[in-house]
Amino acid sequence: MIMSKESKYINNIEERVFYGASVVFILATIIMPPYFGIPVPAFDLTAIRIMIIVLMILICNDRDRLYDFLGIIKYNKGFLAFLPYIFVITYTTVLRVDVKAFLNPFTEIFTMFLMIYVVDKSLGIEKIMSLVYASYYIFVIQGIAEYFHGKSFFKYLRTLDGALVGGSFVRAGQYRIMGPAAHSIAYGMILTVGIPLIAMNFKEKKMYIFQRPVLFILMFVNIIFTGSRSALAVFFLEVALIFLLSNKEEKKKTLLVGSISLLIFGTLIVASSGTSIGRYFMLQITSVIDEIFGTTFSLNYGATLITQQSSDYRDALWYVFKVHWLNPILGIGRKRSFSTVINGVVLRSVDNYYIAEYIRYAYPGMFSYIFYLLYILIKMLIRIIRENDVYAKVAFIAVVSHAVSLYYVDSLGTLKFTYLVIAMYICHAKEDFIFPSRHKKSKYMRQAI
C-alpha cells in the first residue's frame, strides 16, 4: 500500500475513522487532565489510555497498519536506547512483585511510539503542531480566567479520585493556577515545554522568540500565575537558548522587540506595585533571583521562611543516595511509599525526578533513563551542528528545559509532552533514527502477522 506523509488512510471511511481517532488521541494527550477517565481498580483508564486502546484496536484490525507499527518499534534506534531502562523496570517488577513498577513507565514509553506512528503515518508534524498551538491558546486563556475564578475549569471534568488530582495551591496569599495538570508545578512544566514550540516558523524554517507574541505573553503570565519558581527559571533559560540558537536577523529583532517589551513590562510592574498582582509578579521574579544568588529579596514581596526552606529541603534530597536501607542495585518499585529522616529533615515528597528514579529503580534505572535522554539530546545537537536544523533546535531546547525541570520536581504526569516533542523530531529526522529500509523488507514477518 502506497502512503503519503500527511495521511496513510484517507481514502475511505475506515481510514477517516483512524485519522479522526489520531486527532482525538493527540488532543487527549495534550488537553485532557489525568483525573478524567473511567475508574478501574488498580489502573484507571484515563482519557489517553482509552485512546491508546482505541488506536491499538484499529491498528491490530489491519495487517498493514500492524506491520508498520511493529516496524516503527523494531527498526527504531531510539527503542534500542530505551531497552536498558525497559529491562530494569521489568526485573524490578518481578523481584518486587510490583506491577505498577512496569505498567506506569511502560505505558508512557508505549505512548511515545504510538505517537511516532500517528505523526508519521496519519497526521504529519504540521497538523500536530497546529493542534499544539490551539491547545496552548485554550490553556492560557483558561489560565487567566482560572486565576480570578480561583479554581481550574478542567476540574469540572474530574471523574477519578486519588493522587491524580490535587487540591488548591496558594503561595503568599495568591492562588496558583494548575490548568489541566494535577499540580501547579506540573502546569508550569507543560507551559515551558511549549515555549520553544511557539517560537517555530515552519514555512521560513526560522526560530524567533516573538513569533507568536500574544501566545508568548499569555504563556509567560500563566507561568507567573503557577507560582512555580522552577518553571520561571526554566522559562528564562529557554528564552536565552532560543536567542543564542536563532539566526542573526532574528537576534537583532529580538534585541529590539525585547528591549521595548522589557521597558513596557517594567513600567507596568512599577505602576502596579501597590496591587496584589504586581507584588505577585515581583515575588516570582525575586524568588528566582534568590534561588540563583542566595539573596532574600523575595521576603519583601510576601515570601515566607517556609518558601525559603523549600530549597533546603531539595538540597537534603541528595543525601538519599546515602540512605543505607536503599539497595543501590534494586529499587523499591512504585507500590511502596518512601519516607526517611536526614539531618533532622523528614523526607516524603521527592522533588527530583532523577532521585525518585533512584528510589524506584536504583542506580540502573536512574542511569539508564538519563542515558536515553542524553542519547536523544546528542542526536539533536549533532543535527544542529551539521545542518543548522531549526526543528532540531526547537526540540533540543524543549527536551533540555524538561530535563532541567525534572531536576526540581518529579515528572507529575508531564513526560508525555516531551515524548510528543521527541516523537515529532524522530519523524522529522527519520534518517537519524530509523534503520535503512532494506532491513524492513520481510514478507515472512508480514505473513506471520
Check if the beta carbon of residue 204 is closer than 8 Å to that of residue 249. Answer: no
Place of cell 491498528: 59
pLDDT at residue 9, rounded to an integer: 42
Can you give the pLDDT at residue 345? 80
Does 222 reside within a domain? yes
Residue 413 lies in a domain: no
Residue 14 lies in a domain: no
Q: pTM for the complete prediction?
A: 0.90
Do the Cβ atoms of 201 and 126 come closer than 8 Å?
Answer: no
Mean pLDDT by 10 residues, the chain (449 residues): 44 85 96 90 86 95 91 92 96 95 94 96 93 97 94 90 66 84 94 96 90 96 92 95 94 93 87 79 82 74 63 81 93 91 83 95 97 97 95 97 95 94 95 72 47
Q: What is the pLDDT of residue 309?
A: 62
Q: Which three cell numbers stand for residue 26?
A: 493527540
The answer to whether residue 400 sits within a structural domain is no
pLDDT at 316: 83
285 lies in some domain: yes
Domains held by the chain: number: 1
The DSSP result for 105-172, as a single string, is HHHHHHHHHHHHHHIIIII-HHHHHHHHHHHHHHHHHHHHHHHHHTS-GGGGG----GGGS---EEET
CA distance to 89, 102, 103, 107, 145, per residue, from 86 (Å): 5, 8, 11, 11, 41
**Is 173 within a domain?**
yes
Domain membership of residue 365 (yes or no) is no
What are residue 176's DSSP bridge partners? 169
Range of the domain at 259: 126-303
Dump the DSSP string for 241-287.
HHHHHS-HHHHHHHHHHHHHHHHHHHHHHHHTTTSHHHHHHHHHHHH
pLDDT of res. 268: 86
With respect to residue 441, please indicate whether it lies within any of the assigned structural domains: no
Contact 83, 373 (CB under 8 A): no
Q: Within 13 Å, how many C-alpha atoms sit on residue 399's CB side? A: 25
